[in-house]
Amino acid sequence: MTLIKSISGIRGTIGGKVEENLTPIDAVKFASAYGTWLKQQRHKDNYRVVVGRDARISGDMIQNLVMNTLVGLGIHVIDLGLSTTPTVEVAVPMEHADGGIILTASHNPKQWNALKLLNAKGEFLNGAEGQKILEIAESNDMVFTDVDSLGKITINDAYIDLHIDEVLDLPLVNKKAIESAKLKVVVDGVNSTGGIAIPELLERLGVYVVKLYCEPNGHFPHNPEPLKEHLTDLSEEVKKEHADLGIVVDPDVDRLAFMDENGDMFGEEYTLVACADYVLGQTPGNTVSNMSSTRALRDVTEKHGGTYNASAVGEVNVVELMKKTNAVIGGEGNGGIIYPELHYGRDALVGVALFLSLLADKNLSVSQLKATYPLYFMSKKKIELTPALDVDSILKTISETYANENVNTIDGVKIDFADSWVHLRKSNTEPIIRIYTEAPSQNSADELAARFISELKQIAGI
């Protein structure tokens, strides 16, 4: 059982001992710290926070604890109930709220839950803000309001519909072309809120929907991370239904992956590549992804005359660099699409609408579309080190060894070679170095990873 406190929020497994798991006491403590921090930022008479959750079994319990803690601080709560991460992000500015909390552990299994924290723009907090909340939580310096100043809870279950309205109103979403394409799509909603939002979006786009695991009961039918090895049922259903494609999201609907008409993965890394190809073709500009994402985005961006930039890993870092470079689209290679025309957050609904607009515009099958992009293959490995080893020193030695190559050290060490790259990052919580590589073939990517694992072990003397 685990409790992880970090600058991006608190997450853990349900049950067990306080401070070792995500217990009710831990949920209340952290919600108290967030509410206290919020009141320190904005001195006003009334405070409002939007709260929503995915369909996890523990979600209702955790949400009630969090909402009533905020009430005790004198903060009014807009309760979205079952929702998605991007929906809460969209709702915060629409409600003129001071912040938002999403109760979700994203792609983690059902025993996990978490509090994801938003600012008044509906965007994730930065590192300094997250650190301050951790400090407040540890200090127990929280003061609750008197009985006459308690907050109130207002239920608003319309925001998935409103979110879809906002997506459909985007100029680049070609509803007419999608409807004319008469697509048949299988949706795997992993029995969470994607099973509500994605089919409704598709039906409003004129798509024929086949639902698979779309009952939002929190009983995930497979590992909820949308990776090939977890999606055999979706593959079989796409083939059985003779569907044009399959769509799968994670439990909180900020990650998106597609499956082609043959039941083969389009590739989670290529979700952003395809959406960027469409957006750049209509509105030329720059793009951003994190350093561990595919080089294909750079290739597609440069094809359209734009500039690609890589950020440190983490959504908040991607967003920061997108704003700095005026990127028209960005995201992460795990299937996260960030389209600033709507909001600065990973959004599977936006991704679906842009992807289908591209598909209808090009009049190609999903497999034919994939064949139009540069083909790269990834390897993702890790090596465990003893706590006594100085990981920073090991990575510094690597960067010095390859000083004549294109080396980036903003987040670990990334080395760009002519037709491949390697990214080495240390874990923030354990003595592990993660090794990500990409090359024109799977064998080349695996060989590059093996080579650097060997070099790292040699430097470390293990």
- The pLDDT tens digits for 72-119 are 999 999 999 999 999 999 999 999 999 999 999 998 899 999 999 999
Q: Please indicate whether residue 106 is annotated as part of the active site.
A: yes
Checking if the pLDDT of 460 tops 80, the result is yes
Residue 43 binned pLDDT confidence (cut-offs 50, 70, 90): confident
Select from 3.40.800.20, 3.30.310.50, 3.40.640.10, 3.40.50.300 the CATH code of 377-460: 3.30.310.50
pLDDT digits (tens, 9 = 90+) for 129-141: 999 999 999 998 8
pLDDT score for 429: 58
Mean pLDDT, range 430-440, rounded to an integer:
88
Residue 428 binned pLDDT confidence (cut-offs 50, 70, 90): low
Residue 456 binned pLDDT confidence (cut-offs 50, 70, 90): very high
Checking if the pLDDT of 177 tops 80, the result is yes
CA distance 353 to 204: 11
Least confident of 172-181, 365-374, 380-389, 449-458: 380-389
Which residues, at least 6 apart from 288, have a Cβ–Cβ distance to it below 8 Å? 308, 309, 310, 311, 318, 321, 322, 325, 327, 330, 331
Select from 3.40.120.10, 3.40.47.10, 3.90.700.10, 1.10.287.950 the CATH code of 163-370: 3.40.120.10
Mean pLDDT, range 18-39, rounded to an integer:
96
Residue 388 binned pLDDT confidence (cut-offs 50, 70, 90): confident
| Average pLDDT value over all residues in the chain | 95
Q: What percent of the chain has pLDDT over 90?
A: 89
Residue 430 binned pLDDT confidence (cut-offs 50, 70, 90): low
Place of tokens 């793009």: 287
pLDDT score for 211: 98
Per residue, the 3-state secondary structure of the chain, as one string, reads CCEEEECCEEEEEECCCECCEECHHHHHHHHHHHHHHHHHHCCCCCEEEEEEECCCCCHHHHHHHHHHHHHHCCEEEEEEEECCHHHHHHHHHHCCCCEEEEECCCCCCCCEEEEEEECCCCCECCHHHHHHHHHHHHHCCCCCCCHHHCCCEEECCCHHHHHHHHHHCCCCCCHHHHHHHCCEEEEECCCCCHHHHHHHHHHHCCCEEEEECCCCCCCCCCCCCCCHHHCHHHHHHHHHCCCCEEEEECCCCCCEEEECCCCCECCHHHHHHHHHHHHHHHCCCEEEEECCCCCHHHHHHHHCCCCEEEECCCHHHHHHHHHHHCEEEEEECCCEEECCCCCCCECHHHHHHHHHHHHHHHCCCHHHHHCCCCCCEEEEEEEECCCCCCHHHHHHHHHHHCCCCEEECCCCEEEECCCCEEEEEECCCCCEEEEEEEECCHHHHHHHHHHHHHHHHHHHCC
- Please answer whether residues 283 and 272 qualify as being in contact, where contact means their C-beta atoms are separated by less than 8 angstroms: no
pLDDT score for 122: 97
Q: What is the fold, at CATH topology level, of the domain defined by 3-157?
A: Alpha-D-Glucose-1,6-Bisphosphate; Chain A, domain 3 (3.40.120)
pLDDT score for 140: 83
pLDDT score for 1: 56
Mean pLDDT, range 290-310, rounded to an integer:
96
Q: Residues 8, 106, 289, 293: which is the catalytic one?
A: 106
pLDDT digits (tens, 9 = 90+) for 199-234: 999 999 999 999 999 999 999 999 998 888 999 999
Mean pLDDT, range 438-444, rounded to an integer:
96
Checking if the pLDDT of 379 tops 90, the result is yes
Domains 3-157 and 163-370 share a fold: yes
CA distance 462 to 457: 5
Task: Spell out the domain ranges in the chain.
Answer: 3-157, 163-370, 377-460
Mean pLDDT, range 454-462, rounded to an integer:
88
